[in-house]
Amino acid sequence: MPLRIKVFADGADLAGIARLAGDPLIAGFTTNPTLMRQSGVADYRRFAEQVLEAVPDKPISFEVFSDEEDEMERQARLIAGWGPNVYVKIPVTDTSGRSTAKLVRRLTEAGVKLNVTAILSLRQVQTVVEALGGTDAAIVSVFAGRVADTGRDPVPLMSAALELVRLDPALELLWASPREVLNVVQADAIGCHIVTVTHELLKKLPGLGRDLEDVSLDTVRMFRRDAVEAGFTL
């Protein structure tokens, strides 16, 4: 099943990033402080340098980590200077819930390519789209997976978000935090521009569109193999 959507690999495993950099399926990369911490990254700048050595020509997003607007701006301008393919991730609010729209506006006017992240509501999408007006290129990241975690179907929200993002051809809507291959198909079906996929979930993409009875047979064989290898007896 061919995909029209751009697939961005999401992670902070340097070896995995280097391996995926040459994969024609992967159109770009994203990471964040949580993923970096989980991967044992201790030196943010050095990690970024190594990633950019491995990924010199595909979009890559690095996130600011301050909670103070002035320091966010300083970090954003610094990160933006790391390479022409760098997008700076700015959270949609600070940790007190205050909108970062004014900062997004200033950075947009300064020519910084942004990836506004952690968006979960249509109101936030509207605010961000307005703040990004006039940009040459920017990404609006809506965490559809986290919407689904609340028991809500993310497709109507993402479809409505896409209509807002389409008002500005310089913007791209990113379906963030997919939980399963179905989410990639859903994002593709509505015409979303980008979907982030973890390195682990990427391993499942080759199964896209497989015959279900073939999958059934593989499952039966797995159960049998594991029972034999465990040495179960009754």
Q: Which residues are catalytic?
A: 89
Structure-token pair, residue 108: 């947009």
Question: d(Cα 195, Cα 229) in Å, to the nearest integer?
Answer: 38
CA 29 centroid distance within chain: 8
Tell me the β-bridge partners of 30: 10, 61
C-alpha distance from residue 98 to each of 24, 67, 169 (Å): 39, 10, 27
Structure-token pair, residue 167: 């008002």
In 3D, which of 32, 17, 8 has the Cα closest to residue 116?
A: 32
Structure-token pair, residue 12: 């902070």
- CA atoms within 13 Å, Cβ hemisphere of 157: 22
Q: Is the dihedral of CA 6, 7, 13, 17 positive or negative?
A: negative
Let me know if 133 is exposed, middle or buried by CB neighbors in 10 A (0-12, 13-18, 19+): middle
**C-beta of residue 59 within 8 angstroms of C-beta of residue 194:** no
**C-beta of residue 196 within 8 angstroms of C-beta of residue 8:** yes
